[in-house]
Amino acid sequence: MSRIQDNLEYVLADYADARAIPHGSKSLLWQAFKNLEKAFTSYPPLLRRPNLRIEWNVGEGNWVDVPWLAVLDGRKTSTVQRGVYCMYIFRQDMSGLYLIFNQGITEMRNKHGRVKARKLLKVSAARLRRRMCGDLPKYGFRLDDEIDLRAGLHLGTDYKHSTIAYKLYRLDEVPDDEALLEDLSTNR
């Protein structure tokens, strides 16, 4: 599987069941994320921007509840723990995935505590929406704090506060590679 759409659909279809089997780099789900990384890094607009890199997480030792794949711009951040970046993030129940423009949570939470970090992230998200995202709604992105990862209270609430813009791709409605990459190019 080399197409982005095929790999995303594979994750949506099989990830929930995979949580019951051993985790590891030999699994087909692990390979799906490696395929996604390869597909995104060979996408010509990313090739022309050497400051961009792909990072993904399905867990270490155990499968994470909410897997993701991020596109990081080294001029803005080197980690998903701080700064802003684009990310594909799956709902915990695998009913869909989002393309989001997001802020790192971990560093802010470690510095200020969860409650204050959420307040700061929410204010920052609103400011960034006004400053950077005015035209995204015409491409199907939402500019609010209603993202629903169908995840546990802490993780789900953290993302409600940190997400700047998002677009949902529901299970069985994942668009083709061209549309996915067009959305990614729109969400910079």
Q: Where are the domains of the chain?
A: 4-186
| Mean pLDDT confidence for 165-177 | 96
Which pTM was predicted?
0.93
pLDDT of the residue at 148:
96
* Tokens at 21, concatenated: 């089997």
**pLDDT tens figures, 25-55:** 778 899 999 999 999 998 887 778 888 999 9
pLDDT of the residue at 15:
93
Distances (CA, A) of 63 to 18, 25, 57, 75, 150: 8, 11, 9, 30, 16
- Separation CA 30–CA 11 (nearest Å): 9
Q: What CATH fold (topology level) applies to the domain 4-186?
A: BirA Bifunctional Protein; domain 2 (3.30.930)
> Phi and psi at residue 147, in whole multiples of 5°?
-55, 140
Share the mean pLDDT of the chain: 92
Report whether 72 contacts 57 (CB < 8 A): no
Q: What is the CA radius of gyration of the chain?
A: 16
Whether residue 155 is predicted with pLDDT greater than 90 in this model: the reply is no
CA 165 vs. chain centroid, Å, equals 11
